[in-house]
Structure 1
Amino acid sequence: MGRDVVITGIGVVAPGGVGAKEFWNLLSNGRTATRRITLFDPSPFRSRVAAEVDFDAEQYGLSPQEIRRMDRAAQFAVVTTAEAMADSGLTPETIEAHRTGVTIGSGVGATMALDREYNVVSDGGRLDLVDHRYAVPHLYDYFVPSSFASEVAWRVGAEGPAAVVSTGCTSGLDSVGHAVELIREGSADVMLAGAAAAPISPITVACFDAIKATTPRDEEPERASRPFDRTRNGFVLGEGAAMFVLEERERAERRGAYVYAEICGFATRCNAFHMTGLRPDGREMAEAIRLALDEARVNAEQIDYINAHGSGTKQNDRHETAAFKHSLGAHAYRTPVSSIKSMVGHSLGAIGSLEIAASVLAIEHNVVPPTANLHEADPECDLDYVPLVAREQRTDTVLSVGSGFGGFQSAMVLRRAA
């Protein structure tokens, strides 16, 4: 399997709080950060709720020029990278540049900047042929999501492998999984890995309105995200980022780094079935889980907690429930499961990394975060979904899963460092 890979630094920008400490405080207290959209006027749309980040880029050290150059998602990425680096005790001066790399997950790229700039160059949509003279000089950076990885690499002086992984809603899991493989195979010793997303814009809301994937429960935004609840009727859009410092274990130990957890198993599969549809039996996700457990050399009975995708759509929650039963057998009924999307919404490409952060912090604190807004049990979702209130319990091994449009299914196993 190659070299062991551990997490030595965490950085988070999330709805309800900036910073890993604030993020965990929100989750462990079961608070929701969903509200009516304020980033633009949502009144023309079917779904008018989202989980927004209260984010002042200047407060977190970005200059006016950097703010102009970077899309909001890229800003999230560099701020979370700074926190993760500080948390790990690494600096640009102490890393070995050619042995340090970057992987960023992105589902929809620089959506907010592109949406804003199209509005400018098309004169509010009135011009069939857009006028390039009104475009900002950095429009190309908005067009190519690779700019996210470049910004992070420049920040830390990383000259090793750099990539953006875009696999829809599993991007945040897959980017970290890719980074793990690069360390295991010896291509890097340190990776800055994670994901960032800022998709709350008119075009994104319109896209999900068209397929009725998001909830129309606009009258009570704080209770709109209801994974596994009988009354669920769609997900709540979110935004945010999480970045990690990943290191080869022996290197981390030599420098005396604090180790949060080991990433011991990862697998991803595609169902080759439908862009948005999921088979109800959950076989594809179950296969990803089985392979991740095999790589981690972990038995189903050793899983202490499942951090679910838990989007709050009817088909996803049924699909996941079936997948857990297929992959864990009888142990699925004894394993607590929860969805943090009930509190921070669904930030598309970033949510997988935020869920990794939640999983690591659950191990760190021996607390399973709850599924907020779960008041009415759905008979089709009959596992232990930790409703409303966090649960204190010994948590050594966590399974985190993701499911994305296009049929992507990913699973990761994280374990308390020995």
Structure 2
Amino acid sequence: MTARRVVITGIGVLAPGGIGTKDFWSLLSEGRTATQAITLFDPAPFRSRVAAQAAFDPEEHGLGPQEVRRMDRAAQFAVVTARGALADSGLDRGAHPPHRIGVTLGSAVGASMTLDQEYRVVSDGGRLEHVSHEYAPRHLYNAFVPSSFAAETAWAVAAEGPTTVVSTGCTSGIDAVGHAVELIRDGSADVMIAGATDAPISPITLACFDAIKATTPRNDDPAHASRPFDGTRNGFVLGEGAALFVLEELQAARRRGAHIYAEIAGYAQRCNAFHMTGLRPDGAEMATAIDAALAEARTNPTDIDYVSAHGSGTKQNDRHETAALKKSLGDHAYRVPVSSIKSMVGHSLGAIGSIEIAACALAMENHVVPPTANLHTPDPECDLDYVPLTARDWRTDTVLTVGSGFGGFQSAMVLTRPGRTAA
């Protein structure tokens, strides 16, 4: 039996500096940065006081006051991008029974913003040892269960099929899409709304990353604070956002005349079982995931036209990832362009993997590789072609995107141009 092939027919994206595919791609292709001083709250007590915030007004995007009150900011992102993806796809939901439409949503930290805000209320600013439940809103329970994100998204798109949350740290965005692909391939669903969301720019998240010195203290120059692969980098810049996709079986999409952005040809996830935050310098575990994704896609390493890097801007990650690409792609690693969009939109934790998939699909659409912004002083140990500063016109028929997450998670996905014949 021939496996069902899965394609992206709709994209909804909400990212710092760009809401919707047009503004998002404009930011990336022009090499502009959306990193700035934090304005969502007073960051004065923290070591790192910069982030990539989304200019998001929920009511401007169709959410009513009750929805805003009920949903965490990350859930709002998910609902808005799900509706955007459906509109972009032109899908007639009436053509599919609701139980054949599912939702898979990734998130690393869930409703951390709501939990942070409401703790301050019920504890009277931290002064009460025993918090007062009388001040808690009736929907607070939703903030404790990330499954509420998937439920809200399913309600918004009237999906009654398989619905779940995938939470694998910073690879959640790739893994959620990969899981959705598998559901369509095995016949459990015909259409999946899949992607990831996170809104982690809150005091508790900043405090956690401050404690391990993972985020940059470059507070005097926010626009240039995120510097993946640069020898002067000193930590990542926190971000927020979401990207969701409409995924369909290839032949069904063709029959309805859908615009197809890309086929998801291969996906794999591995865990290093090594350390919560540490990475082996040889990149072996990420390389294993890349090899498995290439094998599933029946793609040779030399077929890869562009690599969307995890590129967080920490020395440990950048060097680990560089080693992994050399291990998997061999000499081709030196010829293929590699870039990190985190240099422009920050690191939105679980959401970034899906945001990077959106960037890959648009890179294929436009035959342009987005740059790595702020890369002026290359790290000698990171010696690949990281497309510094300026986007590059480049034929992109086959793209590899990778992710690395706390807990040891390593994920890879191969996207190919529609119509490409597997080797």
Normalized against structure 1, the TM-score is what? Answer: 0.99
Aligned partners of 1:36 and 1:258: how far apart in 2?
Answer: 38
CA deviation string 1:43-98 (max 9, x = no partner): 00000000000000000000000000000000000100111000000244343211
Q: Does residue 262 of structure 2 align to residue 251 of structure 1? A: no
Give the match for residue 32 of structure 2. 31
Q: 1:92 to 1:135 in 2, by over 3 A?
A: farther
Q: Which shows bigger deviation, 212-221 or 90-99?
A: 90-99
Aligned partners of 1:20 and 1:128: how far apart in 2?
Answer: 46
Give the match for residue 6 of structure 1. 7
Aligned partners of 2:95 and 2:358: how far apart in 1?
Answer: 24
Q: Which shows bigger deviation, 85-94 or 224-233?
A: 85-94
Q: Does residue 225 of structure 2 align to residue 224 of structure 1? A: yes
* Superposed structure 1 runs of 4+ greater than 4 Å apart: none
CA deviation string 1:160-189 (max 9, x = no partner): 100000000000000000000000011001
Give the match for residue 110 of structure 1. 111
Deviation, 1:156, is 1.1
Write the mapping of 1:328-347 to structure 2, written as runs, cut at 5 A: 328-347=329-348
Write the mapping of 1:171-182 to structure 2, written as runs, cut at 5 A: 171-182=172-183
Give the match for residue 128 of structure 2. 127
Write the mapping of 1:9-408 to structure 2, written as runs, cut at 5 A: 9-408=10-409
Structure 1 stretches of 5 or more lacking a match?
Answer: none
Aligned partners of 1:308 and 1:268: how far apart in 2?
Answer: 15
Aligned partners of 2:99 and 2:83: how far apart in 1?
Answer: 19
CA deviation string 1:286-338 (max 9, x = no partner): 00000000000000000000000000000000000000000000000000000
CA deviation string 1:73-124 (max 9, x = no partner): 0000010011100000024434321111000000000011110011111111
CA deviation string 1:369-411 (max 9, x = no partner): 0000000011000000000000001110000000000000000
Alpha carbons 1:359, 1:398 under 8 Å: kept: yes
- What secondary structure does 2:94 align onto? coil
Q: Which shows bigger deviation, 92-101 or 140-149?
A: 92-101
Count, aligned residues: 418
- What secondary structure does 2:385 align onto? coil
Aligned partners of 2:379 and 2:123: how far apart in 1?
Answer: 47
Aligned partners of 2:22 and 2:267: how far apart in 1?
Answer: 26
Aligned partners of 1:96 and 1:107: how far apart in 2?
Answer: 31
- What secondary structure does 1:376 align onto? coil
Q: Which amino acid aligns with 1:2?
A: A
Alpha carbons 1:47, 1:205 under 8 Å: kept: yes
Q: Which amino acid aligns with 1:402?
A: G
Aligned partners of 2:122 and 2:398: how far apart in 1?
Answer: 51
Q: Which amino acid aligns with 1:113?
A: T
Normalized against structure 2, the TM-score is what? Answer: 0.98
Deviation, 1:285, is 0.2
Same amino acid, percent of matched pairs: 75
Aligned partners of 1:95 and 1:65: how far apart in 2?
Answer: 29
Q: Which amino acid aligns with 1:110?
A: A
Aligned partners of 1:410 and 1:154: how far apart in 2?
Answer: 29
Aligned partners of 2:76 and 2:138: how far apart in 1?
Answer: 17
Aligned partners of 2:17 and 2:260: how far apart in 1?
Answer: 26
Q: Which amino acid aligns with 2:331?
A: A
- What secondary structure does 1:93 align onto? helix
Alpha carbons 1:235, 1:313 under 8 Å: kept: yes
Aligned partners of 1:391 and 1:89: how far apart in 2?
Answer: 30
Aligned partners of 1:42 and 1:21: how far apart in 2?
Answer: 31
Q: Which amino acid aligns with 1:116?
A: Q
Deviation, 1:30, is 0.1
Alpha carbons 1:91, 1:156 under 8 Å: kept: no
Aligned partners of 2:162 and 2:373: how far apart in 1?
Answer: 39
Aligned partners of 1:69 and 1:180: how far apart in 2?
Answer: 30
Aligned partners of 2:312 and 2:157: how far apart in 1?
Answer: 34
Aligned partners of 2:104 and 2:359: how far apart in 1?
Answer: 19
Deviation, 1:256, is 1.1
